[in-house]
């Protein structure tokens, strides 16, 4: 029988990451969709970096930055009591950073594709920016929100390089499913590796399938 801890850890990590990303990404995506600031290209580039950078590079720099051996990591440790290397909190931070574009991009394009007149009309009707976002804009980009949530969730499940660098491979603490698979293969336990893989494959397949069904309207008959 396989050890369930890596799978549970993976889903716990993915759930919390997705939740945090959802909260961070709505204001960030809103800003990126509507700002005329000259810093926009810089911020856009930074948000998109995880798409192109090898995960090990991100992991490496995070490891250096958070290491208690240097001043920043030391400061975090002493003042906030945060130890971000080889800990769950560190994994969480790295995952949020690493999956950021997968949440931000769909929401940003959702905002950008809405007719500007909806926002303007809400202002004319006396509503604040916050009310406008919550009552008018977000309800009309539901499918973008769903896409963002699912991509971020699935992407966090699939990460390997970043978590290995920053989290290490501590059973029950930072050993996620993708690392467990690698471990089992190295130990020539193909059976266990196959079980982990199959579970991940089936779950991610089902999640993506549900999103595409939803976004193409096949599920309308059920949720209406």
Partner 1 sequence: MIALNFQKKLIAANGKMLLSVETLIKEGSLVTLFGKSGAGKTTILRILAGLTQPDSGKISVHNSIWLDTQNNINLKPQKRKVGYVFQDYALFPNMTVKENLEFALNKEDNSNIINHLIEMVELGELQHRKPFTLSGGQQQRVALARALVQKPKILLLDEPLSALDEEIRYKLQKYILTVHKEFGLTTLLISHDVSEVLRMSDLVIELNEGKIIRQGPTNQIFNYQDLSAKFQLTGTLIQIIKQDFIYILSVQIGKDIVKIVADESEGNNLAIGDKILVSAKAFNPIIQKIG
37, 45, 128, 216: residue in contact with partner 1 (rule CB under 8 A): 128
Give residues 93-122 in contact with partner 1 (rule: CB under 8 A).
115, 117-118, 120-122
Q: Which helix (H) or strand (E) segment is 190 a member of?
A: helix 190-215
Residue 36 touches partner 1, criterion: CB under 8 A? no
Q: Residue 70 interacts with partner 1 (CB under 8 A)?
A: no
* Gyration radius of the chain's alpha carbons: 20
Among residues 117 and 221, whose Cβ is nearest to partner 1?
117
The CA distance from 191 to 188, in Å, is 9
Look at residues 187, 193, 31, 5 and name the one whose alpha carbon lies nearest to residue 104: 31
Interface with partner 1 (CB under 8 A), residue total 16
Give the one residue of 8, 23, 42, 125 binding partner 1; rule: CB under 8 A.
125
Q: Which stretch binds partner 1 (CB under 8 A): 7-15, 44-52, 132-140, 164-172?
A: 132-140
Q: At what angle do helices 177-186 and 142-158 cross, to 10 degrees?
A: 30
Based on the shown chain and the rule CB under 8 A, indicate whether residue 135 belongs to the binding site for partner 1.
Answer: yes
Kindly write out the interface string for residues 188-217 of this chain, putting x where it contacts partner 1 by CB under 8 A and - elsewhere: ------------------------------
Give the nearer residue to partner 1 in terms of CB position, either 45 or 128.
128
CA dihedral (154, 139, 40, 113) positive or negative: positive
3-state secondary structure 80-117: HCCCCCCCHHHHHHHHHHHHHHHHHHHHHHHHHHCCHH
Residue 146 engages partner 1 in binding (rule: CB under 8 A): no
Question: Which positions lie near partner 1, rule CB under 8 A?
Answer: 115, 117-118, 120-128, 135-136, 139-140
């Amino acid at each position: 029988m396989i050890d369930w801890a890596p799978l549970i850890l993976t889903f716990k990590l993915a759930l919390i990451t997705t939740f945090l990303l959802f909260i961070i990404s709505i204001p960030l995506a809103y800003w990126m969709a509507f700002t005329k600031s000259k810093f926009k290209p810089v911020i856009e580039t930074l948000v998109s970096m995880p798409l192109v950078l090898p995960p090990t590079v991100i992991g490496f720099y995070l490891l250096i930055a958070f290491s208690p051996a240097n001043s920043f990591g030391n400061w975090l440790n002493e003042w906030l009591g945060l130890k971000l290397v080889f800990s769950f909190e560190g994994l969480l931070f790295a995952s949020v950073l690493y999956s950021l574009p997968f949440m931000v991009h769909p929401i940003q394009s959702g905002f950008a594709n809405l007719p500007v007149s909806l926002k303007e009309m809400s202002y004319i009707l006396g509503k604040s920016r916050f009310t406008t976002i919550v009552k008018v804009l977000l309800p009309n980009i539901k499918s973008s929100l769903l896409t963002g949530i699912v991509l971020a969730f699935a992407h966090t499940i699939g990460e390997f390089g970043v978590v290995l660098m920053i989290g290490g491979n501590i059973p029950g603490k930072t050993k996620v499913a993708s690392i467990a698979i690698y471990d089992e293969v190295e130990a020539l336990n193909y059976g266990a590796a196959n079980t982990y893989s199959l579970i991940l494959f089936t779950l991610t397949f089902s999640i993506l399938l549900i999103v595409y069904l939803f976004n193409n309207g096949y599920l309308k008959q059920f949720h209406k």
